[in-house]
Structure 1
Amino acid sequence: MAHHDHEPFRLHTPDFEPLNKQWDRRNFLLKTALGLGALATGTLLSTRSGSTPASATPSADFQQAVLNALPHFAPKAKRVVYLFMSGGPSQLETFDYKPKLQTMLGQDLPDSVRKGQRLTGMSANQSALPIAPSLYKFNQHGKNQTWVSELLPHTAQVVDDLCIVKSVFSEAINHDPALTFFQTGNQLPGRPSIGSWISYGLGTDNQNLPTFIVLVSKDAPRDQPLYARLWGNGFLPSEHQGVQFRSGKDPVLFLNNPEGYDGQDRKEMLEYLKQLNQMQNEAYGDPEVNARIAQYEMAYRMQTSVPEVMDISKESDEVFELYGPTSRDPGTYAANCILARKLLEKDVKFVQLYHQGWDHHGGLPNGMKAQCQTIDQPTAAFITDLKRRGLLEDTLVIWGGEFGRTVYSQGILTADNYGRDHHPRCFTMWMAGAGVKAGISYGETDDFSYNIVKDPVHVHDFHATLMYLLGIDHEQLVYKFQGRRFRLTDVHGQVVKGILA
């Protein structure tokens, strides 16, 4: 219900009486007059840092000094799109061509290759580890004759725009810790995600949309679960958490006004709520109060901005044809690629698109074929679309999963069917766009795609390089929490200079 009195707002309950006494007309005018200058300064600072300065405590002073130093150098990328293939796509059926395996069907993986490395519980008890060559052919494409699987014909057409990294590795061998490691830099839950670190460090370029937006494909097998903590803010202020946009009537949950509740009522309610939160902040000095105020105000602005950006129906027929037959259906991978492009055009800084269904312990040939048919054309179209709109030159695009797959078959191997277990020791990702070399392959694996023989890239190195391209020294973007200084790369990570343009 709207409040139309001209008296200072009060809550007449015993718990609020001490605050009410501090909020008489004289104090109200004094505090709001002095607060206007602080509010103006805070607005200028928050545009760059993504957060209003906290109370003047030693910890807050330290955090503000960290933010004031950003960016540390001229960024190559203004924004990031991370196409995360959840479940672990097989490098052996996509980009890591191993022709010698064709003569080794069914042979046991040599001990000299395995080197006693850890196996998952799903294949550790197998009496043999039979080698399973890919059933799919590879062909060379582009100026550098890059090998690409026949499962990815559209991606092959844009291979000159890709920087394919074949030597990524991780310690995590199971899905949840591996996913968590890639998203937060630590295998244990609770740390801030990549997008949250970027939001905290660099702030926003669009005050009407979140800095960090998450999309999840609806047309993917739900083989491994996704958790909201994968795009959570951890110990960073909560306005930096990822916001999931969904297909359907309510793209953002609880964003729309309740039935019978108009915009003016909501605006007045938020004004009163802001006053209460400011009073609480003055009384207790909890920086999370300011985060809540920022979230409420963002939600109000999003009521106008979200419906417009979520509407892909106005895209041209040529765009839908470019992205493929499922692109007209909101929530599909193809439609989400179009939506990601629209978000980039609105200067959203970090977009993460999750596509599940890559966990092929059995039936891999058919499973990989179906997955590649879903993502191949839209992914290539996304690169093409960004490039022709002039967005690729300052946008970093990333594609990959949490680990790769084994060269040996998990379970029974036949001439036309096999499965592959988790393999964190080497797998393939690719990047494209701002600041990375185009049309190259970086790193090498052995003849079995089991061990790295040249230019290893650890997950921490990947994170350090991503931040470098955004103008951030990964060792300098730190956050003090419970007496310790944390960063995305923990105490590790080297920028992979060999892939930088």
Structure 2
Amino acid sequence: MNPVTSLPLGRREVLQQTACGFGALAAGALAAESSTAGAANKVAANQTGSITGMVAPHHPPRAKRIIFLFMQGGVSQVDSFDYKVELAKRDGQSMSFDDARTIAKTGKRASEHRLMRSPWKFRPYGDTGRHVSDLFPETARHVDDLCFLHGMHTDGVAHGPATLFLHCGATNFVRPSMGSWIHYALGSENANLPGFVSISPSIGNGGPRNYGNAFLPARFQGTPIGGAETDELVIDSLTRPGLTDPKRQADQLKFIQQLNRVQADRRDIANGEFDAMIESYEMAWRMQQVAPEVMDLSTESQATRSSYGLDQPETRAYGKKCLLARRLCEAGVRFVQVNYGDNSANPAWDQHSNLPKHAEHAKAVDQPISALLSDLKQRGLLEDTIVWWGGEFGRTPYSQSNGTGRDHNPGGFTVWLAGGGFKPGFAFGETDPFGFTGVQGKVHVHDLHATLLHQLGLDHEQLTYRYAGRDFRLTDVYGRVVNEIIA
């Protein structure tokens, strides 16, 4: 007896169905897993058929993209951009402060602390005469292009909760990161590159959650490049197979697409998440063709490489990250986060007992940041690119335990913004005479998120995603657009 001819199916049908069967199992499992994310807001397809994001922004945007220069650990505002004459005058005096960490640990409110002046001199810069400390002399040359927010405040007094809040708008719940929200809303300007990239992220204080998609579809998660533990800027598995002909690769991808579509049609998988899963694999293939060239910094001129500090050991690591950020934005990536930090328990700028170490970190980032601002401006990119600089909180104006460092301070700190329709050479908000807490023009992190989204053409109250029976948004039920800083 011929076992093949005795079957109700012919040989062609048997081969067709069994060959596709294993792929269908994998595809079906992935589709089932991703479908639990819930129904997404309506998305549109561009001319190439790839999913881009919402149909249109909520209002005309002033900016197309964001570069977030994240200073992990908390830069001291009174040693950088928030000049306090009174703090210097009363150096060494003891005063009572409602210290957030003391309250969290002991429940006691007011406690005595010794004021500590900044060890760095402040000088006026630019036509606006903004005072900047000697920590950031190169960045200071751009004060006429910067918009300072001096009354920032946030939730969370420890690095973990505050870092998560800065990135995701929540201290404990698993929520999408800001980059994922923006990618979800606006897609990428380049179908061959991801819309959201995180350069050298840390594994601590939230780790992947700081660039994660949470309950948004998986295609909106951030793509990490490198890590805090290494200076190598690489994407895992992103190498071109050296022995594979590009045309043959394209033919293979086309064949796999056909198999996926056959399975979707046969099983009646009318599921946007299944399409998104297929799209993610297609994106990986497209990135192999494009990303290596974008990430190749050797194609830049020696003058450009030197301006970013790539020829100096102190600035090389962060200079490479800032230069790559410019190249990624120029290539169409919507949100690029450039992390400065490490994987230690006390990350980077966290000087509890050794404030002079701030100088080492400032030396590493100052020239690269200045070069990035100059480069973007010279190329005409600063007009529609937002550069956002800041950490998860600031630091106290008094010494910790009467020592040589400063403790965490979520009640008053500084961030600055450049480009993207913000007022240049402008300062908004104010802390008290010692730089401890915001007293005027206070801006909460929810407000900052709302304002950044607004400049991208997004209404933070309308940018929602329905999950587990309720609508979620980056700013939860809070936040206002800070119109005072918009040009």
TM-score normalised by L of structure 2: 0.84
**1:218-233 to 2 correspondence within 5 Å?**
227-233=207-213
Q: Deviations over 1:343-394 (max 9, x none)?
A: 12112111111101111111012x1100111111111111111111111111
Helix, strand or coil: the match of 1:12?
A: helix
Does 2:179 match 1:195? yes
**1:239-254 to 2 correspondence within 5 Å?**
239-246=219-226, 251-254=234-237
* Inter-partner Cα distance in structure 1 for 2:87 and 2:231: 46
Residue among 263, 266, 273 paired with 1:288: 273
Does 2:368 match 1:378? yes
* Inter-partner Cα distance in structure 2 for 1:75 and 1:280: 40
Which residue pairs with 1:333 in the alignment? 318
* Inter-partner Cα distance in structure 1 for 2:14 and 2:81: 66
Which residue pairs with 1:463 in the alignment? 449
- Contact 1:425 1:450 (C-alpha < 8 Å) held by counterparts: yes
* Inter-partner Cα distance in structure 2 for 1:404 and 1:321: 31
Helix, strand or coil: the match of 1:244?
A: strand
* Inter-partner Cα distance in structure 2 for 1:164 and 1:17: 54
Does 2:372 match 1:399? no
- Contact 1:213 1:351 (C-alpha < 8 Å) held by counterparts: yes
Residue among 10, 16, 21 paired with 1:10: 16
Which residue pairs with 1:256 in the alignment? 239
Which segment is superposed worse, 344-353 or 437-446?
344-353
> Alpha-carbon deviation of 1:321?
2.5
> Alpha-carbon deviation of 1:46?
6.1
Helix, strand or coil: the match of 2:148?
A: strand
* Inter-partner Cα distance in structure 2 for 1:304 and 1:330: 30
The share of aligned pairs that are identical, in percent, is 42
Residue among 142, 158, 163 paired with 2:142: 158
Distance 1:328 1:7, change over 3 A: farther
> Alpha-carbon deviation of 1:256?
2.5
* Structure 2 portions without partners, runs of 5+: 1-10, 26-43, 342-347
Helix, strand or coil: the match of 1:448?
A: coil
Which residue pairs with 1:274 in the alignment? 257
Residue among 351, 362, 385 paired with 2:353: 362
Code of the residue aligned with 1:252 in structure 2: it is I
Which residue pairs with 1:303 in the alignment? 288
Which residue pairs with 1:103 in the alignment? 89
Does 2:481 match 1:475? no
- Contact 1:313 1:328 (C-alpha < 8 Å) held by counterparts: no
Code of the residue aligned with 1:153 in structure 2: it is P
Distance 1:9 1:346, change over 3 A: farther
Code of the residue aligned with 1:254 in structure 2: it is S
* Inter-partner Cα distance in structure 2 for 1:404 and 1:432: 20
Q: Deviations over 1:391-437 (max 9, x none)?
A: 11111100000001111211342xxxx11111101110000001100
Code of the residue aligned with 1:407 in structure 2: it is P
* Inter-partner Cα distance in structure 2 for 1:469 and 1:8: 56
> Alpha-carbon deviation of 1:269?
4.5
Which residue pairs with 1:492 in the alignment? 478
Distance 1:384 1:119, change over 3 A: farther
* Inter-partner Cα distance in structure 2 for 1:16 and 1:117: 55
> Alpha-carbon deviation of 1:135?
1.1
Does 2:52 match 1:50? yes
Code of the residue aligned with 2:257 in structure 1: it is K
> Alpha-carbon deviation of 1:340?
0.9
Does 2:191 match 1:207? yes
Code of the residue aligned with 2:18 in structure 1: it is H
Which residue pairs with 1:57 in the alignment? none
* Structure 1 portions without partners, runs of 5+: 20-40, 52-66
**1:69-148 to 2 correspondence within 5 Å?**
70-110=56-96, 113-114=97-98, 119=103, 121=105, 128-148=112-132
> Alpha-carbon deviation of 1:199?
0.9
- Contact 2:67 2:388 (C-alpha < 8 Å) held by counterparts: yes
* Inter-partner Cα distance in structure 1 for 2:468 and 2:256: 29
Distance 1:178 1:18, change over 3 A: closer
Code of the residue aligned with 2:471 in structure 1: it is R
Q: Deviations over 1:217-247 (max 9, x none)?
A: 8xxxx89656122101111111111111238
Code of the residue aligned with 1:103 in structure 2: it is K
Does 2:216 match 1:236? yes
Does 2:398 match 1:408? yes
Distance 1:181 1:250, change over 3 A: closer
Distance 1:236 1:14, change over 3 A: closer
> Alpha-carbon deviation of 1:273?
4.0
* Inter-partner Cα distance in structure 2 for 1:183 and 1:318: 34
The aligned length equals 448
Does 2:154 match 1:170? yes
* Inter-partner Cα distance in structure 2 for 1:385 and 1:450: 34
> Alpha-carbon deviation of 1:274?
3.3
Distance 1:124 1:404, change over 3 A: farther
Code of the residue aligned with 1:389 in structure 2: it is R
> Alpha-carbon deviation of 1:107?
2.5
Helix, strand or coil: the match of 2:337?
A: strand
Which residue pairs with 1:321 in the alignment? 306
